[in-house]
Structure 1
């Protein structure tokens, strides 16, 4: 890092996140004035008002400008999605914002007063409130007992967007304006539906012009600032930055610096327009490389200067923030934004796409040691081995699991199965935590209700009834002691799974209709083909590709439970179903039985097979669960855009549980795999905590059996390595061999935490000494110390492999 970059980074780490009301204020004032108008026009005008009036800041020494809120790491408020939780937390229910166990925010009395005024206007008008009023009683019950959950989309906004930045840079926003004007000129307002198309195209023009004007506001501010500084070097920089903002994002950048600035403005504007999370950056090293190469050849830039610009971009990525309800913050802790940035992969003709800029991005990732953006490396059989060893070196030094590793041909196989055109396959990029998307052609790379597979298994063995609340939505086929064999249990489980998947899809369809009434965003839609050509937004079917699917959690916990029942009851007859049923109901705590509850728990934990050990008897159940859910989603369900333009318009399975394994574990009672009530369930496709017994190779072999063909929405696989593992050439070689084995078996992804247990334990006790300690949480990295205790403990308990076992 240069001296300036280090100072900017440290200042950022010293900044406490705050709540900023500016976006909510200007947005709400505008929406009050436009009541009665079409929602797309109202939101376009409000977006324009926000960009024209929000405060701007330029940090001392920064090279990339553009802010989301009034100060770094402050979070804007998006009241149109939900407000009840804001009022609750202002009243300290369950916490005051500044007293949360994680993701806390400071705020002033003035901020609180303004928020209360804004809340009054939005009560009863929000996306979440309207959705909850429309869904069935069964869906509400399923949501409230933790079998499904749609809050992350309804109260959090539609996200997981990836523009085609190559086209954005080539055309500039003026290119999108011209395209919209051209389509507008062809409209015949006598034709049915033409008026609605006109509203959308008018909004596209207004919002793109608003973003250009936003950049020009920064140009004005930079020019003014340049006249006030005495340092000639900084004066020159400020004037050049002002020129950058005059050119981009309006038109094609003239150099690398302008190209990076253009990407930031567009990325930032999408964040400000809506409450969407996981707005991602695509193949950063590919679309920026021509500008870097041209500058290098012309002598306009050095590698060192380019890296400093990249590092300034990384700092900006860590300035943006999102204020979630406490309920949501438990699922996405660590001020999570999921700004995914891809490197590597292959070219359209199948050659290694790694270039000089790829190495600079790796250098910046290593040196900055920041959680955002989430750097993701696309591997294929042609990826240079030396480059992979360098990437593993960065993984080791970063500690927070960056870069995460993705299987390029494996993902291309999944996408081809969904009907994605061959010419688009190579260019896919991860979005958000881990989902696969085609830049500039996909609507929402992940969207749909959470499904708690472990909870649904608990319902299955309790005759469809929730033991905690007593609620029974779908009558089951009996309680655990009524089943005669494993086939009966699995049949009953699939019946319950299918029902709750039906509920989740039905809720998502209603959610889409509510968004159409309240949340049509023209700017982000305009950047995705072919919204302008079809004159309709993403939620209405403007994109080329579309498939829904929300996160699932707990499949391995359910699979291990099935394996435990088969082994302990039916095969070896160590215990009876009645004994197991009572042990579960008493949370393995009844000491009066023979065997006792703790003895049964130990037997289930230590003597029954578990996924993650290359044991077919255990693995077959987890494979069957994933295959059932994935094939059902792909073959039976259609999303709301099906038949309206995008393909395939189906659903896809997500095994990207973020940190839902901890939060959703609180809804699940004791399970037959030996897990006690309310403890975490498994994360992603990773084995359950403590399940791995036979080393990393066996774990890789188990994961390699999964039906990855269904995993377009992602499959998170966490591995924790001891700090010594990647320190030697031999250690890197062994880890790389594991990665290749996993990927040659067509699996999706793997990510590493490289940190010792002793370090994590000490960081729990002395957080003030570990401000910079980063960990891989799920499909993203976060600083360890601010995380809540339950999540910290889950990360510590993830199985650790050392150099020998790897």
Structure 2
């Protein structure tokens, strides 16, 4: 880092996350004045009103400008989605926002009072409260007992989107406006349904013009600052920034600086339009490289200046923030926005796509050591080992789990199986944590209620009844004591799985209908094919590709539990099913039995086979669970855009539970794999904490056995390496070999933490010493200290590998 970037980074870490009332203020003002108009037009006008009135700020030395809220890391409030939780948390239930166990937010009394006043307008109008009111009773109960949870996409906007950044760089928003105007001129409003297209296209024009005016506001601010600036170098720089903002994103970019600024404006606007997270950047190096190459060859830019601009962009990305309710925050701990940025991969012709910008991104990642964006390496057979080694060096220096590694071969196979066109396969990019999307052509790379697989197994062995509440939505085939084989348990489990998958899909269909009614967003839709041509927003079916699917948690916990039942009860007959059930019901704490509860726990924990050790007796159960869920989603269920244009419009399995494995674990009683009640379930496709006993190669082999053909939403594989593993060339070569073995066998992804437990333990005791200590939690990195202690402990308990 040079001194400019170092100062900007230092300032970023010096500010506390605040709550900003501006977006709620201006959005609500506009919505009050447009009642009765079409929702797309109302939201576009409200978006424009926010951009015309919100405050602008610039930090000293900034090269990339534009803010989401009144100060860095402040979060706007989006009252149109949900309100009741914010009222409750302002009043301390379950916590005051600044007293949460993690992800604290601070505010003044003035801010609180203004927001409380704004919220009064939204009583009975917000999406989440309407949603919970109209849900069928069985879906509500499935939610309440911890089997499903749809808070993330019913109390907020829809995210997990990668728009066509390249389109903005080459055509500008004026090009988008022109396309919408031409399409509008061709409408025949005497035809049924055409008026809805007219309203949508009108909202596209309103939103895009508002963004151009916003950029011009910044240009005017810079010009005014330049008038008062005595330093000639700073004056020149301010005028250059002003010229950038006058040019982009309205028009095609003229140079690399403008290209980076234009991408930032687009990313920023997507976050102000709604608070759906996981608005990702796609193949950052591919669409930026032509401008960098042109400037470099013309001596307009140096490598050092190019790096500085990318680092300035990274810092701006870390200013974005999202205020979630505490119940929702438990699933997304770490102030995360899930902004994924991909580099590498291959071209349409199958050539290595790594370029100079790819290397600059690695350097920025290594230098800055920031949470966002999540840098991802797309790998294929032709990726140069030197680039992979450079990525591992960056990972070692970043220390917070970035970059992560993704497999072109596996994801392209998945997408081809779903019907994605051959010419689009190479261009896939990870969105959010790990979901596969085709930039500029896919609507929401992940969307839908969470599904708690471990909880469904608990219901299965209790005859369909939740032991905590007594609720039984689907009568089971018996208690564990009624089954004569593990396969019988599995067949009963599949019946329960299908039932709750149905509740999951029904819940999401209802959620979608409310978003169509209340949440049409024109700007993001205008940058994804083929919304303008169809005259439809994303949620209505405007995109080329679509597939839904919410995160799952605990599938490995369930598989290990079935393996333990088979081993201890049916094969070795160490325990009777009655003994096992009693131990589960008493949370392994009854020491009067023989064997005692603790002895039973140790048998299940240490003697029963576990996934992650290349043991077929354990791995086969995880495979069967994932094969059933993955194939059933794609064969049995269609999303709400089915038949409206997008393909394949099905569901797909997501194994990216973020910190939902911790939140969902609190709903699940003791499980037959030896896990105690309330403890986290496993994370993603990773082995359960402490389960790996036979080293990294065995863990890779277990992961590689899984049916990844169904995993379009991704499958998180966490590995922890000792802190010295990647410090030598030999260690990096071994790590590259491990990645290649996994990817040759169609494994999707792997990410590494390289921090030892002694550091993490000390950071828990002395948080003031570690303000910028980062870790990889799920498909993202985050600061360790602000995490809820439960999340900190979950990370510490992961096994550390020596290569």
How many Å apart are 1:120 and its aligned residue? 1.0
1:62 aligns with 2:62: yes
Q: What is the SS of the residue equivalent to 1:497?
A: helix
5 Å-filtered alignment, 1:392-791, equals 392-791=392-791
1:63-122 C-alpha deviation (Å, 9 max, x unpaired)? 000000010000000001100000000000011011111111110011111111111111
How many Å apart are 1:21 and its aligned residue? 0.5
User: Counterparts of 1:557 and 1:513 in 2: how far apart (Å)?
Assistant: 34
TM-score, structure 2 length as denominator?
Answer: 1.00
How many Å apart are 1:771 and its aligned residue? 1.0
- Corresponding residue for residue 337 of structure 1: 337
> Which is worse superposed, 504-513 or 479-488?
479-488
How many Å apart are 1:194 and its aligned residue? 1.2
User: Counterparts of 2:722 and 2:576 in 1: how far apart (Å)?
Assistant: 41
1:154-207 C-alpha deviation (Å, 9 max, x unpaired)? 002200110111112111000110000000111111111111111000000010
1:541-583 C-alpha deviation (Å, 9 max, x unpaired)? 0000000000000000000000000000000000000000000
1:130 aligns with 2:148: no
TM-score, structure 1 length as denominator?
Answer: 0.99
1:202 aligns with 2:223: no
How many Å apart are 1:346 and its aligned residue? 0.5
1:331-367 C-alpha deviation (Å, 9 max, x unpaired)? 1111010011000000111000011111111000000
- Corresponding residue for residue 317 of structure 1: 317
1:299 aligns with 2:296: no
1:584-617 C-alpha deviation (Å, 9 max, x unpaired)? 0000000111111001000000000000000000
User: Counterparts of 1:748 and 1:515 in 2: how far apart (Å)?
Assistant: 32
User: Counterparts of 2:49 and 2:697 in 1: how far apart (Å)?
Assistant: 56
User: Counterparts of 2:103 and 2:219 in 1: how far apart (Å)?
Assistant: 33
User: Counterparts of 1:460 and 1:731 in 2: how far apart (Å)?
Assistant: 45
1:159 aligns with 2:159: yes
- Corresponding residue for residue 279 of structure 1: 279
- Corresponding residue for residue 232 of structure 2: 232
User: Counterparts of 1:202 and 1:459 in 2: how far apart (Å)?
Assistant: 50
1:37 aligns with 2:37: yes
> Which is worse superposed, 563-572 or 187-196?
187-196
User: Counterparts of 1:674 and 1:438 in 2: how far apart (Å)?
Assistant: 41
Q: How many residues align?
A: 803
Q: What is the SS of the residue equivalent to 1:750?
A: strand
User: Counterparts of 2:701 and 2:268 in 1: how far apart (Å)?
Assistant: 41
- Corresponding residue for residue 23 of structure 1: 23
User: Counterparts of 1:29 and 1:769 in 2: how far apart (Å)?
Assistant: 44
Q: What is the SS of the residue equivalent to 2:86?
A: helix
User: Counterparts of 2:106 and 2:606 in 1: how far apart (Å)?
Assistant: 46
How many Å apart are 1:329 and its aligned residue? 1.0
User: Counterparts of 2:337 and 2:288 in 1: how far apart (Å)?
Assistant: 22
1:223 aligns with 2:218: no
Q: What is the SS of the residue equivalent to 1:16?
A: coil
> Which is worse superposed, 46-55 or 113-122?
113-122
User: Counterparts of 2:691 and 2:400 in 1: how far apart (Å)?
Assistant: 23
User: Counterparts of 1:672 and 1:343 in 2: how far apart (Å)?
Assistant: 42
User: Counterparts of 2:638 and 2:772 in 1: how far apart (Å)?
Assistant: 45
How many Å apart are 1:486 and its aligned residue? 1.3
1:691-711 C-alpha deviation (Å, 9 max, x unpaired)? 000000000000000000000
How many Å apart are 1:469 and its aligned residue? 1.0
- Corresponding residue for residue 358 of structure 1: 358
- Corresponding residue for residue 797 of structure 1: 797
- Corresponding residue for residue 188 of structure 2: 188
User: Counterparts of 1:741 and 1:330 in 2: how far apart (Å)?
Assistant: 34
1:211 aligns with 2:211: yes
> Which is worse superposed, 31-40 or 547-556?
31-40
User: Counterparts of 1:163 and 1:106 in 2: how far apart (Å)?
Assistant: 32
- Corresponding residue for residue 348 of structure 1: 348
1:645-702 C-alpha deviation (Å, 9 max, x unpaired)? 0000101111111111111100000000000000010000000111000000000000
Q: What is the SS of the residue equivalent to 2:235?
A: helix
Structure 1 stretches (4+) deviating beyond 3 angstroms?
none
How many Å apart are 1:539 and its aligned residue? 0.3
1:112-167 C-alpha deviation (Å, 9 max, x unpaired)? 11111111111211111111112111110110111000001000220011011111
User: Counterparts of 1:695 and 1:185 in 2: how far apart (Å)?
Assistant: 64
1:46-77 C-alpha deviation (Å, 9 max, x unpaired)? 00000000000011001000000010000000
User: Counterparts of 2:733 and 2:570 in 1: how far apart (Å)?
Assistant: 43
User: Counterparts of 1:659 and 1:112 in 2: how far apart (Å)?
Assistant: 28
Q: What is the SS of the residue equivalent to 2:321?
A: coil
User: Counterparts of 1:504 and 1:743 in 2: how far apart (Å)?
Assistant: 31
User: Counterparts of 2:594 and 2:723 in 1: how far apart (Å)?
Assistant: 44
- Corresponding residue for residue 168 of structure 1: 168
User: Counterparts of 1:188 and 1:602 in 2: how far apart (Å)?
Assistant: 72
Q: What is the SS of the residue equivalent to 1:726?
A: helix
User: Counterparts of 2:456 and 2:156 in 1: how far apart (Å)?
Assistant: 25
5 Å-filtered alignment, 1:239-254, equals 239-254=239-254
User: Counterparts of 2:155 and 2:499 in 1: how far apart (Å)?
Assistant: 24
Is there any run of 5+ residues in structure 1 with no aligned partner, and where?
Answer: none
User: Counterparts of 2:747 and 2:411 in 1: how far apart (Å)?
Assistant: 8
User: Counterparts of 1:781 and 1:567 in 2: how far apart (Å)?
Assistant: 37
1:446-476 C-alpha deviation (Å, 9 max, x unpaired)? 0011000000000000111111111111111
1:101 aligns with 2:101: yes
Q: What is the SS of the residue equivalent to 2:547?
A: strand
User: Counterparts of 1:772 and 1:16 in 2: how far apart (Å)?
Assistant: 13
- Corresponding residue for residue 51 of structure 1: 51
- Corresponding residue for residue 113 of structure 2: 113
1:257-280 C-alpha deviation (Å, 9 max, x unpaired)? 000000000110010001110001
- Corresponding residue for residue 7 of structure 1: 7
- Corresponding residue for residue 256 of structure 2: 256
How many Å apart are 1:427 and its aligned residue? 0.6
How many Å apart are 1:413 and its aligned residue? 0.5
Q: What is the SS of the residue equivalent to 1:430?
A: strand
Q: What is the SS of the residue equivalent to 1:540?
A: coil
How many Å apart are 1:433 and its aligned residue? 0.9
How many Å apart are 1:442 and its aligned residue? 0.3
